[in-house]
């Protein structure tokens, strides 16, 4: 699973709102992002490695349920103590962990506005999906 991260600030910028050092993305910036991601996904479909992909809504729409003193407590997002959350994922089925790394590394070319802070803060995580207890 290739997991992409983002913050509320990132979501706000992509929605066209300036926020906390992140300039708003223009419609052209968003079109370039969508075009890039569509091509990236289509390459995976064509290679037979694509399994599933989804983007997630902004952190402001998140609810966290935790246990305190044995009682479930619901907290609405976004969470000030957490800068980044899972923004989306792509599941690939490929020959090796190295191949998954190669696929994910292509995301480093994801377009963004020239003045965006994303350039130095960007990353994705890659983790194998456990098929059973033996994979843990």
Full-model pTM:
0.84
Q: What is the pLDDT of residues 67-82, one digit of tens each?
A: 999 999 998 877 666 5
Domains annotated for the chain, with CATH where assigned, are 2-131 (3.30.70.1060)
Contacts of 91 (CB under 8 A, 6+ apart): 1, 2, 51, 52, 53, 129
Confidence at 10, pLDDT banded by 50, 70, 90: confident
CA 130 to chain centre: 20
Assess whether pLDDT exceeds 60 at residue 117.
Answer: no
For residue 56, the model assigns a pLDDT of: 94
Residue in 96, 102, 100, 88 with CA at minimum distance from that of residue 10:
88
pLDDT score of 47: 98
Q: Tell me the pLDDT tens digit for each residue of 18-40.
A: 876 678 999 999 999 999 999 99
pLDDT, residue 85, reads 86
């Amino acid at each position: 699973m290739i997991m992409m991260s983002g913050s509320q600030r990132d979501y706000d910028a992509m929605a066209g709102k300036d926020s906390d050092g992140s300039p708003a993305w223009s419609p052209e910036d968003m079109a370039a992002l969508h075009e890039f991601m569509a091509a990236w996904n289509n390459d995976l479909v064509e290679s037979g490695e694509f399994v599933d992909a989804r983007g997630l809504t902004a952190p402001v729409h998140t609810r966290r349920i935790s246990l305190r003193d044995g009682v479930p407590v619901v907290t609405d997002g976004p969470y000030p103590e957490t800068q980044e959350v899972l923004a989306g994922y792509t599941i690939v089925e490929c020959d090796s962990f190295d191949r998954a790394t190669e696929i994910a590394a292509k995301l480093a070319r994801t377009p963004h506005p020239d003045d965006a802070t994303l350039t130095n803060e960007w990353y994705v995580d890659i983790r194998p999906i456990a098929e059973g207890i033996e994979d843990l």
